[in-house]
Amino acid sequence: MLRAVHVIVEGRVQGVFYRVSAREKALGLGLVGWVRNIQEGRVEIRAEGPEAPLAEFLAWCREGPKEAQVIGLTIQEAAQGDLAPGFNVLD
């Protein structure tokens, strides 16, 4: 079963390779989607894939790379099927 989520990550998550690390983790898990920096030092993620790999990715998002300090994660269910193949870092 596929699941799609929209995630906002708060904390010290910009300038610590969060986006690149999230992309590598997502690709390793076979997920599709994108990640980008947004206002107020947050990171926005849209990800889709099978339930188990997506759950593993969300667990990773709560920690991030070692330089990050995640203080909050907001997860909302999203519509499935509107993502391009791969997992992209957006500007």
Global pTM? 0.95
pLDDT value at 55 more than 90: yes
Across residues 81-87, what is the average pLDDT?
Answer: 85
Long-range contacts of 14-21 (CB under 8 A, 24+ apart): 14/41, 14/42, 14/43, 16/64, 16/65, 16/67, 16/68, 17/65, 17/67, 18/43, 18/64, 18/65, 18/68, 19/43, 19/89, 20/89, 21/64, 21/65
**Residue 6 falls inside a structural domain:** no
**Residue 86 falls inside a structural domain:** no
**Residue 2 falls inside a structural domain:** no
Across residues 18-39, what is the average pLDDT?
Answer: 98
Among residues 19, 23, 62, 88, which one is catalytic? 19
pLDDT value at 56 more than 80: yes
Give 82's pLDDT tier (boundaries 50, 70, 90).
confident
**Residue 44 falls inside a structural domain:** yes
Express each pLDDT in 13-28 by its tens digit. Answer: 999 999 999 999 999 9
- Provide the domain limits for residue 34: 16-69
Q: How many structural domains comprise the chain?
A: 1
Among residues 12, 37, 42, 88, which one is catalytic? 37
Residue 48: which CATH number?
Answer: 3.30.70.100
19 catalytically annotated: yes
**Residue 83 falls inside a structural domain:** no
